[in-house]
Amino acid sequence: MAETDDETAGRLAVLSLPAQLIIAVATAVAAVAAAIHLGMAFLNVSPPNTLSKQHGEAIEDYIYPEFERNWKLFAPNPLQQNIAVQSRAEIRTPDGGTATTGWRNLSAEDGAAIRHNPLPSHTQQNELRRAWEFYVSSHDEQDRSTGARGPLFEQYMRRIVMLRFGREEGGGTVERVQVRSATTPLAAPPWSDEKIDTKTLYRVLPWWTVTGDDLPEAKSR
């Protein structure tokens, strides 16, 4: 049975004054944080206005890359291909040598975690997919950054890969990682006469040397 307002107030009244102050401050901080987040998200997706024009850089710094949204589901031409992000690592073995792991299908791992899960996490659904889209949109075919956010999105991609591998992998220490995409066009429906080549195409990125900023423990500090 749910508590009434009077019962809730009674429970709070028996707390000491310091405890009541802590609860009041925590509630106020949470409310302010929620208001700021909702305000930033609204300004990011709303039509240009005075506030978004004056504080556009601050808004984008807050939103990207973790809170960015896109509307591809409602686009006139929705995606018609499957894109899998895969990665492998070069490790330093205990005897001082090097070895290269096989390709891990990170997208398939996320898909397996989502399948049959009634409440999949936002991270499992979107983090890797959006990170790849960020990278592709900010780099040309020669993997050269085309804008100010290019290095940020590259580092974001490296961090996600290192979260999957960890510092130690296959009995050795991860020193470099490499990412590739496997793009497979969707076959035409049975009732269509359209001919589509469903051959998988790969885009292989250069090897990235792992730095301290890419490690999961560094990100959590």
Cα–Cα distance between 16 and 145 in angstroms, integer? 57
Q: How many CB atoms lie within 10 A of CB 11?
A: 10
For the CA atoms of 45, 49, 55, 61, the dihedral, rounded to the nearest 10 degrees, stands at 10
Return all residues near 76 (Cβ < 8 A) that are at least 6 apart. Answer: none
Residue with more model confidence, 64 or 163: 163
Q: Where are the beta strands (DSSP E) in 55-209?
A: 81-92, 98-100, 104-105, 168-169, 172-185, 201-204, 208-209
User: Per residue in 35-72, pLDDT tens?
Assistant: 988 888 887 777 777 877 787 788 877 777 666 666 55
Cα–Cα distance between 79 and 70 in angstroms, integer? 13
The ranges assigned to domains in the chain are: 5-63, 79-220
Give the tokens for residue 158. 């490296």
Return all residues near 192 (Cβ < 8 A) that are at least 6 apart. Answer: none
User: Per residue in 176-219, pLDDT tens?
Assistant: 999 999 999 988 888 888 888 889 999 999 999 998 888 766 44
Angle value at C-alpha 198, between 195 and 203, nearest 5 degrees? 135
User: Per residue in 85-144, pLDDT tens?
Assistant: 999 999 999 888 999 999 999 999 999 989 988 888 878 888 999 899 999 999 999 999
Helix %, strand %, coil % of the chain (to 5):
45, 20, 35
Give the per-residue pLDDT at 85.
96
Cα–Cα distance between 123 and 161 in angstroms, integer? 13
Helices 17-45 + 56-63 axis angle, to 10:
110
- What is the rounded radius of gyration, in angstroms, for the C-alpha atoms of the chain? 23
